[in-house]
């Protein structure tokens, strides 16, 4: 605090022989620390320079290969089947993208996505926004692993005709992948009937936070990019399908399977993509709040969460209108290892939130207020996850008051 006193302090250390060896050692350590710090700063500059020169990754999120500084995602269309026999999902995912001005030439005509080891990609296809749906053409792709800590980089080479025609304007286009997720995926948990409360049917659920959506399907897996989506899901008819969007239809496909469609018209980060398929029953708590649970948990869940409509109303009154349509809270099977996960309209909570005295209601409130903090306003990358959780804890406690 007073630099003029520093020489006298050092002289005093020298006069105290018992302290002087320690002081000498401290100088040596400090010198080493400064040298190490300078080396780290130099390395940081080199790495950032290399990242800026690379075509994969972006300035927005170090945990994703997606080159979103060049190509901006806006919408995803899923069309897949759930296979409980093989513990897989398979189908197509179509990305709507915008090439920003100068992006095609700056990126060498390559678009990067994130995948992990449990995603098999068999085909990549391209079409421009002006083409008809039938006009998809197959394009080459390559999967590499520049950094195993964040998975694999899926590089798609755009057609030369598109590269040549693209200039300084924004150009919209589509990329469609045919893919399968393998049983080893970290994004999906496949439960046997014995792991459920009902003990009759299997169950599957996704949990993609932080960056595990890339182990379910090829995607630009970064919270810095928000997208809308629609989905077609084929699953066994005896089971209920839920996703982080509003259900738009459910029809019988054949004697054994049904087709359920979903739509999310508000933009969400990729980790909010969610799938739940199981033997679930539904009970309405209000015109927009409902509980989904297996039969053994349903009655207790209705009683435990009967105050959630009032919670939603009071949060809206303090903040802004709830933008996600319906609100669904899903009581998960007993093997679900988390307290809760704030998926939009498919809010997963543990069955341990049903003690019978509403003493665990604060966790349900925490998940419902994530509809504003995290799901609507959230972090650009995982270095700033505190924005999601810190602000949400404040809101949770405000509601409890």
Give Cα separations from 83 to 96, 196, 214, 270, 384 (angstroms): 27, 18, 19, 23, 36
Give the number of other Cβ atoms within 10 Å of residue 312's Cβ.
21
Dist. CA 294–CA 240, nearest whole Å: 10
**Residue 349 near residue 205 (C-beta atoms within 8 A):** no
137-138 and 119-128 strand pairing? antiparallel
Task: Based on the residue annotation, tell me whether 342 is a catalytic residue of this protein.
Answer: no
What's the pLDDT at 131?
67
Catalytic-role residue among 238, 367, 389, 396: 367
What's the pLDDT at 311?
93
From first to last of the 401 residues of the chain, give the pLDDT tens digit. 343 433 333 333 334 344 334 434 444 444 454 454 444 444 344 334 333 444 799 999 999 999 999 999 999 999 999 999 999 999 999 999 999 988 888 888 999 999 999 999 999 999 987 766 668 999 999 999 999 999 999 999 999 888 766 666 678 899 999 999 999 999 999 999 999 999 999 999 999 998 999 999 999 999 999 999 999 999 999 999 999 989 999 999 999 999 999 999 999 999 999 999 999 999 999 999 999 999 999 999 999 999 999 999 999 999 999 999 999 999 999 999 999 999 998 999 999 999 999 999 999 899 999 999 999 999 999 999 999 999 999 999 998 88
What's the pLDDT at 133?
61
CA dihedral sign of residues 36, 41, 45, 50: positive
pLDDT in tens, 216-269: 999 999 999 999 999 999 999 999 999 998 999 999 999 999 999 999 999 999
What's the pLDDT at 13?
35
CA dihedral sign of residues 5, 7, 8, 10: positive
What's the pLDDT at 5?
38
**Cβ-count burial of 314 within 10 angstroms (0-12 exposed, 13-18 middle, 19+ buried)?**
middle
Dist. CA 348–CA 362, nearest whole Å: 14
């Amino acid at each position: 605090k007073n630099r003029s006193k520093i020489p006298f302090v050092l002289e005093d250390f020298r006069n105290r022989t018992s302290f002087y060896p320690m002081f000498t050692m401290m100088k040596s350590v400090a010198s080493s620390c400064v040298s190490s710090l300078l080396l780290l700063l130099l390395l940081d500059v080199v790495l950032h320079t290399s990242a800026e020169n690379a075509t994969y990754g972006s300035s927005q999120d170090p945990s994703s290969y997606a080159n979103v500084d060049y190509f901006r995602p806006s919408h995803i269309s899923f069309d897949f089947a759930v296979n409980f026999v093989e513990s897989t999902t398979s189908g197509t995912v179509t990305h709507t993208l915008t090439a920003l001005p100068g992006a095609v030439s700056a990126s060498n005509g390559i678009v990067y996505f994130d995948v992990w080891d449990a995603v098999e990609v068999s085909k990549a296809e391209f079409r421009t926004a002006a083409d008809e749906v039938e006009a998809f053409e197959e394009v080459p792709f390559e999967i590499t692993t520049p950094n195993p800590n964040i998975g694999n980089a899926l590089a798609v080479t755009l057609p030369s005709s598109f590269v040549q025609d693209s200039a300084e304007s924004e150009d919209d286009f589509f990329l469609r992948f045919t893919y399968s997720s393998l049983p080893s995926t970290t994004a999906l948990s496949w439960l046997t009937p014995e792991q459920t409360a009902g003990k009759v049917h299997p169950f599957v659920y996704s949990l993609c936070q932080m960056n595990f959506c890339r182990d379910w399907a090829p995607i630009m897996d970064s919270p810095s990019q928000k997208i809308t989506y629609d989905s077609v899901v084929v699953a066994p008819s005896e089971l209920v399908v839920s996703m982080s969007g509003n259900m738009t239809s459910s029809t019988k496909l054949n004697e054994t399977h049904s087709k359920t469609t979903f739509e999310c018209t508000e933009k969400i980060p990729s980790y909010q993509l969610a799938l739940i398929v199981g033997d679930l029953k539904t009970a309405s708590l209000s015109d927009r709040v409902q509980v989904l649970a297996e039969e053994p948990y349903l009655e207790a869940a209705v009683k435990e969460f009967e105050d959630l409509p009032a919670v939603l109303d009071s949060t809206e009154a303090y903040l802004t209108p709830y933008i996600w349509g319906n609100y669904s809270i899903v009581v998960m099977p007993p093997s679900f290892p988390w307290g809760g996960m704030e998926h939009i309209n498919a809010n997963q909570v543990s069955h341990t939130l049903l003690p019978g005295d509403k003493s665990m209601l604060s966790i349900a409130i925490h998940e419902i207020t994530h509809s504003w903090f995290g799901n609507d306003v959230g972090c650009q990358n995982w270095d700033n996850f505190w924005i999601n959780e810190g602000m949400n804890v404040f809101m949770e406690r405000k509601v409890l008051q």
